[in-house]
Amino acid sequence: MPPVDTGHALRGPSPLHAFNRYEIKYPVGTAAVPALRAALAARLSPDSHCAGVGYGVWSVYYDTTRLRFYWEKIEGLRFRRKLRIRHYGDRFDLTDDTTVYVEIKQRVNRVTQKRRVPLPYRLARQLCDGWSMVEHPPAQRAFVQEVLGLVSGLDLRATAMTGYQREAFVGRDADLGLRVTLDHRVRGRDRDFHLGADAENRFIIPPSRSVLEVKANDRVPYWLTDLAARSNLAVVRVSKYCQSVEAFGRAPRSVFHVPDDDPVGPTHQPAGVRTPSVTRNEA
């Protein structure tokens, strides 16, 4: 059983939601990615930020010393949330003035809700460290106060980082509101939490796997579920944050942990070769 910490008064969902979505995730063997990418491109439009090669997504997650948010995910609580700072793009281009996003991502029953505000990285760090001397615009104030309440009420601190290369597709015509992403080379670290630090990262999901995420406002279209079935994809419950916590030994590996061995589709490695889930990687 996970340790119990205080702050249950902060568990209630805020009435302010940026959007509600259903999320479905599938692991994909890298050998299957080209055909899957082509099938998605035939029905969806590329995200305007992809520029043909995708973009980096780097996040630092905040949690309690006893990993309350991690355990809420593992136990499948009907209401749970996470606080993070997220940067899109090349992490080595990040400065104190670069715009990043402070996000609260929460789950209410089966629906995912995400709210965020854009801030210069310097102010984002200050906010998630529990203090902010800046007068924020009126539209941001309720969210900022909620973040400050979470950080101070639960004594949150930077706990884990994740990073990956993302390809993104968006729906058109009858599929408006649909978003599908392919995340490759999923890495992380358990220290040096500055998003732009020239620090070592490790694979937290075997590099022979990518993660396909389907995000829909109401329902996933039939053609997409049919594509997943024809591609022999199986739905998994996986959290990149939890994956990072477990990969670095902060918690025992859960039933949701992506295994070290890779049974997902054909790969280019010889039979019997075991791919470690934690692989050193600098990029």
pLDDT at 261: 60
State the pLDDT at residue 257: 80
Q: Name the residue with tokens 């992809």.
A: 50
Give me the pLDDT at residue 11, please.
40
Position 190 confidence tier, pLDDT thresholds 50, 70, 90: very high
Residue 275: predicted pLDDT? 31
State the average pLDDT over residues 54-69.
96
User: For residue 103, is pLDDT > 50?
Assistant: yes
- Over residues 161-169, the mean pLDDT reads 96
Cβ atoms of 103 and 57 within 8 Å: the answer is no
Say what the pLDDT of residue 259 is.
73
Distance (Å, whole) CA 242 – CA 76:
12
The mean predicted confidence, pLDDT, of the chain is 85
Q: Which residue has the higher pLDDT, 217 or 192?
A: 192
What percent of the chain shows pLDDT beyond 70? Answer: 84
Name which of 133-147, 225-239, 268-282 the model is least confident about: 268-282
Residue-level pLDDT at 19:
57
Amino acid type, 17: H
pLDDT range class, residue 134, cuts 50, 70, 90:
confident
DSSP-H helix ranges across the chain: 33-43, 68-75, 121-128, 138-154, 222-230, 240-247
Handedness of CA 2, 115, 235, 269 (dihedral sign): negative
Point out the least confidently predicted range of 59-63, 101-105, 245-249, 270-274.
270-274
> Per-residue pLDDT tens for 195-241?
999 999 999 999 999 999 999 987 889 999 999 999 999 998 889 99
Angstrom distance (rounded) from CA 248 to CA 160: 9
The pLDDT score that the predictor gives to residue 219 is 84
Tokens encoding 176: 């408006």
Binning pLDDT at 50, 70 and 90, where does residue 51 land?
low
* pLDDT surpasses 90 at 112: no
| Alpha carbon distance 92, 69 (integer Å) | 29
In which band, very low, low, confident or very high, does the pLDDT at 76 lie, cut at 50, 70 and 90? confident
- Report d(CA 241, CA 159) in Å as an integer: 9
Beta bridge partners of 60: 85, 161
At residue 139, φ and ψ (nearest 5 deg) are: -65, -20
List domains and CATH numbers for the chain.
19-261+275-281 (3.20.100.30)
pTM of the complete model: 0.84
pLDDT of amino acid 157: 97
